[in-house]
Amino acid sequence: MIQGATALLAEFGGEWPNFHDAEVLRFAVERAAVVDVGEVVVSLAVHLRRFEARGVGTVNYHLALVKSVVVDFRFTGVEDLSASDFNHQNVLEEIAFSEIDGGAPFSVEVTGIYGFEGRWRCRTVEVAGVSRELNEV
């Protein structure tokens, strides 16, 4: 369903990551090249972090940051776009991807906790890049 998903799955041990508490770093809307007249493209960069409990059951308990990656999503053939509240933090509740029938086969809903929220339909969903921000500890 999502092109390039294997790169993201590889970073998270074969699991699709939970986007809860991730932060949207960039949201951009652009029209595609002249060749693709009418094509709308959305780019979304999301900073994902994974924490691990250390010292469970002791006074030394803490959560250690063990994974920090930026995921670049690219959506093409975007329609029915709605976005709001982009701010200095943009903390997410979730990003939901679903297949739908009709013109644009995918629906994307970005639910925010604080800041950015959006929803749109699109023809393709792609993980355009995954870059590691922090090495695992």
pLDDT digits (tens, 9 = 90+) for 45-54: 999 888 888 9
* Structure-block tokens of residue 48: 């994902």
Cα 17 from Cα 109, distance rounded (Å):
16
Contact 18, 137 (CB under 8 A): no
Cα 73 from Cα 106, distance rounded (Å):
14
Runs of H (alpha helix) within the chain: 5-11
H or E, element range at 18: none
Confidence of residue 38 (pLDDT cuts 50, 70, 90): low
Query: Is it the case that residue 137 has pLDDT exceeding 50?
Result: no
Q: Which residues pair with 131 in a beta bridge?
A: 70
Q: Which amino acid is at 20?
A: H
What are the pLDDT digits (tens) for 64-102? Answer: 888 899 999 999 999 999 999 999 999 999 999 998 876
Cα 106 from Cα 60, distance rounded (Å):
45
